[in-house]
Structures are given as structure tokens and as C-alpha cells.
Amino acid sequence: MQLKRAMVKVLLLCYLFSSALSQSLYGQQGDDKCEKFEAANAFGEATPDDAFRCLNKLVSESDGLPEKCGKLYDSPTAADSPDKVAEGLVCATIIGTRAVGTKVKKTTLQRVLGRDDEGYLICGVNGNIEGFSLRAPGTATSENDLAGLYESGSGLEVDLCKVVAVAVFGEYKGKVRFRNLSNSERFSSVASGEVDVAFRNTTWNSERDTDLGVDFGPIYFHDGLKVMVKSGSGVTSLDGLANKRICVLNETTTKDNLDSIFDQRQIDYVPIMKSPATEKFYESNQELFEFFATNSTCMALAGDESTLRGMIHSSDGEGSYRVIPDEPLSYEPLTAMIAENDGRWRELVSYAIWATIWAEENGISSSNPEAFAEDTWKYLGLNENRGKLIVEYVGNYGEIYKRNLGEIIKTRGRNDLATEMREGWLKSPPMGSAILGISKSARVSFDFGSYRPSRASVDRVFELINNEIDKGREILSVEVIGHTDEIGPPAKNLKLSERRAEAMVEILEAEFGDIVGRLSSRGVGEAQPVASNSTQVGRAENRRVEMNIRAR
């Protein structure tokens, strides 16, 4: 009986070692018989017979074992034979020892930390989209160039690579290398571990998530399909593209969605996806844009709105191209990509991204960084100060957006925070107190053409903020939005609205020094009137600054 019990214990260890090994190396799940054996043993109900059934499964999948191991369970009473039990112990021990001695594949975090002894992150990006990822010229060493890696770039996705590096190492300088990934290699490079994480303007969908060997992290940008046309084309809607040639990248969600949209409208189009010179598929939006811009083959170029606007901005072609229609034609959630079946690495990447959103939600910025989610970072095996360092070195999401996309996509729209006062979609799970903030709004008026607010309306704002402070509440953030009436050129009005918001921020900083860093400003010009601009009274109401004040 003791021998039989020993058989059960040894085989359980053997099974656990083999099961863990197979899942680590191959992502395989355990055999049904062995799963039942493991579950039964957990309740002290496993029998030698259960053990033999599981052991035979492991024996059948192992090479080079003694011949007797292949004949263990040759009768229903094998488990009752002392000799068979003894032989089973030997075979189970051999298999278990092999499992323990086999080199287990390193986790992504282990690989990152141990790379070239000192460690660094390899982050996949596009490298050719202004506002998202652009390689800085002349910055890479020849050694890095041989591997296709470089050390300096700019853009929202480049900054998110830095965010992950800070989460791992506590800094990003010297700790992150970028690699440009083509359209065709982006998934395989992540799945194979050639890159540790990719922020490569890639849409997350169920097919990619389950079929390509990658997992997806949090959504960092809510994008959508649109098309770019030349300003002189006369095209103002999709109907104007019926039977026309449209440049589009092959094997992308852009192509799939474009096909669906034109099918729904029962109109045809001709996709142009190959270079006429080489007959090879275009690999990047930049190549496609250069072709579109320099000849008349395509009437339009299809892509995510962020990509199209980035290419227009980098080409200084603001007046040469139009992006249509006003509303996106599809939903394209852009997310980080990592190799699948590495849950801890996925958590690390996810909470690093969420940290930038959480910080903005709670008024934490690079000018007033503070620690948060200390236990989360410790549970991930990192220093508890990682949240603070991410914001201190790279910024919160709003700062990252403004730095990289503020001049390209001026209105954040869906990529604003999902709060009562803002209509965005960005939200992080709680990384600190989950108590909801109190939202207050205030309005300040201006004389025509002036950026200096009236004293009476400023005093009302002071009173509102002081009331919150007197109640013991912390001012989390104050967003200041400038507006104008429609008298004058739109570009001039936009500048005036921005100056009004900036002036109000300066006044608040002078009065409430402890909320410096929790203030943000932007202008929207004449785009959001609250009254008719046809009357003097209405225009006076539109000349304003609105403030969204969050306190907790």
C-alpha cells in the first residue's frame, strides 16, 4: 500500500513537471486522463490505477525509455501488481527527471532583462508615420543597424515603447531599441520573439487574436477608416469614387473594411495594391502615399484616419489633400501586441499603458509626478515607484498625445478620457482609489478680440475652486477650453481661443500654486458655439473659456 501511495505521489510530480513544460514550450494543454488524475489527487482521491492511466499517456509521448515502460498498463489489474508499481515508479522518475532537466523557454521579461547582460527592450514600430513613429535620422550605431535596430525616434507609439521600458528598467535612455516592421512581418516578428512588444498602428480583432500567435494589450488609440483625396479632384463623398482606383494596402483590415463598405453601397472600386514598376505589393502606407501623391493612377488613398493625417502633415500638404467623410467608416482599435501565452508580460505592458491614462484621469503629470499603484508594480516584480517614473519621464496620456498629435489631430475625440465632462473612450482600471471625482464646470467671458477675461467671471471661478478646497477635496485636474465667435478668419480665431485658454491657466497658476501641473489648455476657435453668431448677444456668449474642474 505504501508503495502504491508513493507511485501516486511520484507520478503526480512527473505529470506536473511534464504538463508545465509542455505549456511553457508549446502552449499545449494536459491530456484529459491526466487532468482527471491531477484533480482527483488534489482531493486525496487519486488511485494507482488513475496514476497508471496518466503515466501511460506520458510514456507514449516519450522516446528512449526502457522497454518495460511501454508495457506498464497491459491489464486492468496492473496497478495491483507490486512489480508493476515498482516499474511504474522507475518510469515516472525518468520522465519527471527529464522534464526538470529540460531547458524551459525564457519568459519575455527574463529575455529583456538579460539581453546583452545589461538588458534592453526591442520594440516594433512602423517608423514612417508622423505623430506615431518616425525614426530620428543619424542616431543609430552601425552595430544596431545590422540588426535593424535604432535608438531614437518620435511619436505616440515611440513614447509608449519608452513607457514599457521605464516600467521594466526605471528609465528608457539606453534601454529601448526600435525596429521598423513591415506590414507583412509585424505579426510573425512578435510571435517569434524577435521583438518584445509592438506598437505598430495595428488593429485588434478576434481573428488576429486567435490565429496569429499574438496577444493584444489595452487600446491606446481609437482609430477609424477614411479615405484621402486630392483637393482638386472634386470628390466629396464615397459615391464619387464609384468605379475609381483606390490605393490600399493588401492584407489589412483597411482593405477588408473597404470591400465591405463598397459592397453595402452596391458600388464598385478598383484596388491598387502593387507597384506598377515592380509588381510587388506595397509594404507601407508611406510607399503607397508617395505613389498616390506623384501620379494620377489612384483617385483616393484608403487608411486609418490617424495615418492619413500624419502623412498629410509630414508632406506639408494641408491644402493639397482632403480626408473624407467626416465620420469614420469603421472602428479600428490600435493596441500593443505581444507574443501569446505570456500572461505576466502582458500584464506588465498593459499596466504600463494604463498608468498613463490613470495619471491623466487623476491630474498627475510630468510636472507633478507622484507614486501610485505601488503594490501592482511590486506584484509584477518591479520597483514600486514605476508609476511615478513613467509619468515623470514620459508623461501622462494627455501630455503624450499633445506632444505628438496635438498639431496633427487637434481634437482628441474618442481618444479623450471617458469622464462626465469629456466624451472620449479612454479608461483605465482603478490603479488607486476608485472613488469617483466630483466634476464642476465654470465659464469665463471676454470682450471682442481680447484674451483677458473679465474680473467678475474670474472671481466666480476662484470661489468655486476655493469651495471645493474648503470641503477637504483635492483638485485633480482643471481643463481649460478657449472659444471665439465667428467674426474673423478661422485660423486667427483658433489662435485667439488658444491664447484665451493659456491666459486663464496663467491666472489659475498664480492663484493656486499647488495645482500647477494639473492644468491643461486647448482652443477650438469658433467650432463650438453655444449661441447664435448672428446677434451681438449671441456672439458675446460665444467669446468664452469653459473649465472642467475635477475634485475628489
Q: How many helices (H) and strands (E) does the chain have?
A: 19, 18
pLDDT at residue 75 greater than cutoff 90: no
Residue 428: which region, alpha, beta or left (left: phi > 0; alpha: psi -120 to 50)? beta
pLDDT band at 98 (very low <50, low <70, confident <90, very high): low
- Please report the DSSP string for 92-133 in residue order: HHHHHHHHHHSPPPPPHHHHHHHTTTT--EEEEE-SEETTTE
Question: What is the tens place of the pLDDT at every residue in 398-425?
Answer: 999 999 999 899 889 899 998 766 779 9
Cα distance between residue 152 and residue 498, in whole Å? 31
Q: How far is CA 442 from CA 71, 314, 460, 461, 549, in A?
A: 83, 37, 8, 6, 8
List the domains of the chain with CATH numbers.
2-101 (no CATH), 225-330 (3.40.190.10), 436-552 (3.30.1330.60)
pLDDT at residue 81 greater than cutoff 50: yes
pLDDT band at 340 (very low <50, low <70, confident <90, very high): very high
Peptide bond into 325 cis (omega under 30): yes
pLDDT band at 1 (very low <50, low <70, confident <90, very high): low
3-state class of 360 per DSSP?
helix
With pLDDT > 70 as the criterion, what percentage of the chain qualifies?
A: 77
pLDDT band at 27 (very low <50, low <70, confident <90, very high): very low
Highest mean pLDDT among 90-104, 131-145, 390-404, 429-443: 390-404
* The pLDDT of residue 203: 94
* The pLDDT of residue 15: 47
* The pLDDT of residue 37: 47
Highest mean pLDDT among 45-49, 71-75, 100-104, 359-363: 359-363
Chain mean pLDDT for the chain: 83
Collect all residues with Cβ–Cβ distance below 8 Å to 307 and sequence separation of at least 6: 129, 132, 201, 285
Higher pLDDT, 202 or 419: 202
Which range (3-12, 315-324, 437-446) has the least confidence? 3-12
* The pLDDT of residue 17: 45
Q: How far is CA 405 from CA 173, 354, 427, 443, in A?
A: 22, 19, 19, 27
With pLDDT > 90 as the criterion, what percentage of the chain qualifies?
A: 50
* The pLDDT of residue 39: 47
Which range (91-100, 311-320, 389-398, 419-428) has the least confidence? 91-100
Half-sphere exposure of 334 (CA within 13 A, CB side): 24
Cα distance between residue 217 and residue 345, in whole Å? 10
Question: What is the tens place of the pLDDT at every residue in 116-154?
Answer: 888 999 999 999 889 999 988 765 543 445 568 999 899
pLDDT band at 6 (very low <50, low <70, confident <90, very high): low
How large is the average pLDDT for residues 328-337? 95
* The pLDDT of residue 399: 94
Which range (89-98, 149-158, 418-427, 452-461) has the least confidence? 89-98
Highest mean pLDDT among 198-207, 362-371, 436-445: 198-207
Question: What is the tens place of the pLDDT at every residue in 207-261?
Answer: 999 999 999 999 999 999 999 999 989 999 999 999 999 999 988 899 999 999 9
Helix axes 343-361, 386-393, angle to 10 degrees: 60
3-state class of 178 per DSSP?
strand
Cα distance between residue 165 and residue 160, in whole Å? 9
pLDDT band at 332 (very low <50, low <70, confident <90, very high): very high
How large is the average pLDDT for residues 438-460? 85
Question: What is the tens place of the pLDDT at every residue in 257-310?
Answer: 999 999 999 999 999 999 988 989 998 888 899 999 998 899 999 999 999 999
* The pLDDT of residue 96: 55
Point out which residues pair with 323 in neighbouring strands.
228
Instruction: Identify which of 351, 311, 521, 332 has the alpha carbon closest to the alpha carbon of residue 425.
Output: 332
pLDDT at residue 524 greater than cutoff 50: yes
Q: Across the beta sheet with 128-129, what order do the strands follow?
A: 128-129, 133-135, 153-154
Collect all residues with Cβ–Cβ distance below 8 Å to 504 and sequence separation of at least 6: 444, 453, 458, 480, 482, 521, 545, 547
pLDDT at residue 497 greater than cutoff 70: yes
